């Protein structure tokens, strides 16, 4: 039996910035607790108060080092920062400081920084369902910026883009080139590109290839948009994603990266893109929750009916379309 939690008390303490209350609320979100609805209702008014920045890229490009350097710079500017490190492949969760995340411990005692690792538990759409709500918890705790760091594997990059106001796509010389990134579909989601480890050989080549790929992608995109008559979308296509070179381990280029993030946010606000992105994101989140409810009902209360229908389909008494219609 799960212990009932005093949600109001937790929310009050989280709003005061108590790290334990914040951690506890995110755990409720992650565990898909029955009290989640209550949590969600109470923190809803805090929604949309932070700038949500996604960081993604292949393993080894230096996402954690860059996140750490960004956090340091933002703390220097007096901002309260939340970090969600989402590992779609890891079975571990609960705020564990994994492997290369160790350097984030620089900030472990800073009350103005909340750091949390989340695992997506292997189920598709896991990030889609839990992460936006975890972002809201961090917003309720007063974070001005929430950085969502995701390993660029499979679906997750696309999901991180669906989660963030601004998506930073990271590359590094020798760590999977721009062509591979293009194939993986992560160029399209980049609002800002960061070529890290820029002191290494091949950095200029990476930047050059990236620039070529990005402008190719954009022109393909632009002609798509001409076809659709959506003016907002076409305004969005007018943003030209900048490429910033960084050496995060020496904190080089970090201010420039922050500046480009700021410019992107400004541009979005000026073109009414920010609100539109957030509405689309919320719609995707609601849809994921609806689908999850249906899936849960089919594996739970409606499980026996589904089983019976499946048996009838196998024996040819029933077709699957009719079966689906009766179960809906």
Tell me which long-range contacts 44-50 makes (C-beta under 8 A, separation of at least 24).
Answer: 44/136, 46/15, 46/136, 46/139, 46/140, 47/136, 47/139, 48/139, 48/278, 49/139, 50/82, 50/135, 50/138, 50/139, 50/143, 50/144, 50/145, 50/146
Give the separation between CA 237 and CA 212, rounded to whole angstroms.
17
Among 34, 45, 59, 185, binds a copy of itself (CB under 8 A): 45
* Contacts to a copy of itself from residues 97-126, by CB under 8 A: 124
From 57-65, 198-206, 254-262, 271-279, give the range in contact with a copy of itself by CB under 8 A: 271-279
Residues near a copy of itself (CB under 8 A), total: 51
- The CB density around residue 297, as the number of other CB atoms within 10 Å, is 14
Q: Which residue, 107, 194, 169, 193, is CA-closest to 143? A: 107
From 19-27, 164-172, 225-233, 305-313, give the range in contact with a copy of itself by CB under 8 A: 305-313
SS3 at position 250: helix
| Smallest distance, a copy of itself to C-beta of residue 49, A | 8
Residue 129 or 257 having the CB closest to a copy of itself: 129
- Residue 34 found at the interface with a copy of itself (CB under 8 A): no
- Residue 282 found at the interface with a copy of itself (CB under 8 A): yes
| Smallest distance, a copy of itself to C-beta of residue 303, A | 9
Give the separation between CA 30 and CA 24, rounded to whole angstroms.
10
Among 44, 102, 212, 269, binds a copy of itself (CB under 8 A): 44
Q: Which residues of 126-146 are buried (b: 16+ CB within 10 A; e: fewer)?
A: bbbbbbbbbbbbbbbbbbbbb
* Contacts to a copy of itself from residues 140-179, by CB under 8 A: 154
- Residue 318 found at the interface with a copy of itself (CB under 8 A): yes
Among 21, 25, 43, 198, binds a copy of itself (CB under 8 A): 43
- Residue 328 found at the interface with a copy of itself (CB under 8 A): yes
CB-CB contact of 38 with 10 (8 Å): no
Contact residues for a copy of itself, defined by CB under 8 A? 36-37, 40-41, 43-48, 124, 132-133, 154, 275, 278-283, 285-287, 289-291, 293-295, 298, 306-307, 309-311, 313-325, 327-328
């Amino acid at each position: 039996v799960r212990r009932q939690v005093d949600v109001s008390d937790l929310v009050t303490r989280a709003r005061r910035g108590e790290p334990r209350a914040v951690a506890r609320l995110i755990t409720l979100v992650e565990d898909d607790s029955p009290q989640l609805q209550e949590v969600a209702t109470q923190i809803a008014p805090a929604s949309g108060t932070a700038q949500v920045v996604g960081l993604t890229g292949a393993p080894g490009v230096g996402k954690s080092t860059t996140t750490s350097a960004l956090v340091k710079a933002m703390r220097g500017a007096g901002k309260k920062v939340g970090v969600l490190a989402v590992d779609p492949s890891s079975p571990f969760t609960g705020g564990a400081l994994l492997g290369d995340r160790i350097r984030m411990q620089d900030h472990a005692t800073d009350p103005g920084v909340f750091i949390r690792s989340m695992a997506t538990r292997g189920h598709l759409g896991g990030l889609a369902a839990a992460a936006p709500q975890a972002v809201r918890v961090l917003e309720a705790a007063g974070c001005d910026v929430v950085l969502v760091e995701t390993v660029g594997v499979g679906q997750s990059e696309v999901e991180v883009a669906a989660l963030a106001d601004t998506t930073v796509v990271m590359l590094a010389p020798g760590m999977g080139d721009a062509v591979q990134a293009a194939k993986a579909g992560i160029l399209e989601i980049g609002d800002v590109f960061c070529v890290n480890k820029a002191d290494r050989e091949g950095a200029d080549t990476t930047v050059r290839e990236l620039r070529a790929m990005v402008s190719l992608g954009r022109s393909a995109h632009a002609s798509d948009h001409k076809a659709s008559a959506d003016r907002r979308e076409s305004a969005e296509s007018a943003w030209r994603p900048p490429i910033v070179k960084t050496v995060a381990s020496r904190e080089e280029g970090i201010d420039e990266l922050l500046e480009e993030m700021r410019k992107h946010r400004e541009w979005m606000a000026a073109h009414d893109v920010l609100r539109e992105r957030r509405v689309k994101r919320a719609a995707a989140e609601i849809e994921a929750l609806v689908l999850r409810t249906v899936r849960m009902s089919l594996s739970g209360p409606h499980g026996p009916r589904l089983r019976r229908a499946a048996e009838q389909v196998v024996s040819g008494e029933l077709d699957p379309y009719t079966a689906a219609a009766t179960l809906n």
